[in-house]
Homo-oligomer: A and B are copies of this chain.
Amino acid sequence: MSQKEITIYDIAEALNLSPATVSRGLKDHPAIRKDTRKRIFDKAKEMGYQQNHFASNLRRSRSNTIGVIVPRLNSYFMASVISGMEKVANAAGYNLIISQSIESKDKEMTNVKTLYNSRVDGLLVSLAYDTETISHFDLFLNKGIPLIFFDRVFEHPQCTSIIIDNYKAAYEVTQHMIQQGCRRIAHITADIKRNVYSERLRGFKHALLDAMLPYDEELVFFSNLSEQAGAEVTQRILALPQLPDGIFCANDTTAVSCIATLKQAGIKIPEQIAVTGFNNDPLSKVIEPNLTTLNYPGQEMGELAAATLIRKLDSKEGGSLNTIVLRHDLIVRESSLRKKV
């Protein structure tokens, strides 16, 4: 069964070298002769050597592992993000340990501890729904272990944030709706503790004000942006004494369920009410009418987050980066197109 593992001692013995030399040779230490290095590599391959990461990690107090905390794994957006992270991390020789906060601050705190115990070299985090402070990350910050936020971020001098310009994006969405003739727009969003929602709300508000339209707090609805919440809030909107002529949802899931509910109520979209979303989920291209939404690159965000972290880890540079903003674009589809071109 389990034959003995080959260690650098075995290679050293076979080659009449010291383990130290073998260790150096294996990792391209500059002070090793080209040919001995080659001999070491060849012999290692021949003997089927596999480096023991635990020993190495123990010795170097480093794990080559990155911890990831996300609210939920099972959305298209998040899956794309993780996919991007995995790609970059894997190529750079890092492993990912992924955990979900299931939108709960408490679980997030537990995850932080677990990852701390796993001695991850750095952390990639998108915050839970109800997280208010980030003091539970002090464990990491105090030790100087890099922490990078993406998407749902928190301003902190020690941390880099990777985001899109949610303010501008929401501004563009709203502006587009106004251009399409909407004058009374509702906004369905989530807790503004999270930057992504507060910024979108701000963009929404300013776009209205800049167009000399009133900003009516009665038309701003807070929910958890689930499919169910979309239906519920839409029912409340339908019960309003005066219907809005546009609904801007802070994600596509909600927008889709909003459209479905409106259609059931016999409302014509976009003629009576225009609807827009956020995320460019695959759903948006399938719902009828196709959903106008805001695209932002999950995969790239993941890649960038991982790459930024790894750069910090490998070279100790990049510490001055505070915020990285990714591009976004408005995707106009039928659900908001009230003016024939």
Chain A residues touching B, range: 35 or more
Residues of B within 8 A of A45 (CB): none
Instruction: Assess whether A72 is interfacial by the CB under 8 Å rule.
Output: yes
- A228 CB to closest chain B CB (Å) equals 13
- Tell whether A97 pairs with B100 under 8 Å between CB atoms, given A53-B118, A58-B52, A75-B79: no
Selecting from A82-90, A146-154, A182-190, A315-323, the interface stretch reads A82-90
What's the nearest-Cβ distance from chain B to residue A303, in Å?
A: 13
Q: How many copies does the complex hold?
A: 2
Q: Which of B51, B63, B99, B116 contacts A90 (CB 8 A)?
A: B99
> Which residues of A in the span 98-129 have a Cβ within 8 Å of any Cβ on B?
98-100, 114, 116-119
1/0 contact string of A71-96 vs chain B (CB within 8 Å) = 01111101110110011001000011
- Which residues of A, 235-294, contact B by the 8 Å Cβ criterion? 256, 260, 282-283, 286-288
Report B-chain residues with C-beta under 8 Å of the C-beta of A142. Answer: 1
With contacts A79-B75, A79-B78, A86-B73 known, is A286 near B96, CB below 8 A? no
**Chain B contacts of A73 at CB under 8 A?**
79-80, 82-83, 86
Residues of B within 8 A of A256 (CB): 286
Please tell me if the beta carbons of A74 and B79 are within 8 angstroms of each other in the complex: yes
Q: Which of B2, B75, B98, B283 contacts A96 (CB 8 A)?
A: B98
User: Complex: how many Å from CA A116 to CA B2?
Assistant: 14
Q: Is the CB of B100 within 8 A of A87?
A: yes
Check A340 for interface membership: any CB of B closer than 8 A. no
Which residue of A73, A82, A114 has the most chain B CB atoms within 10 A of its CB atom?
Answer: A73
A214 in the interface, Cβ–Cβ < 8 Å?
no
Chain B CB within 10 Å, residue with most, of A55, A79, A260, A299 = A79
**C-alpha spacing A22/B99, complex, angstroms:** 30
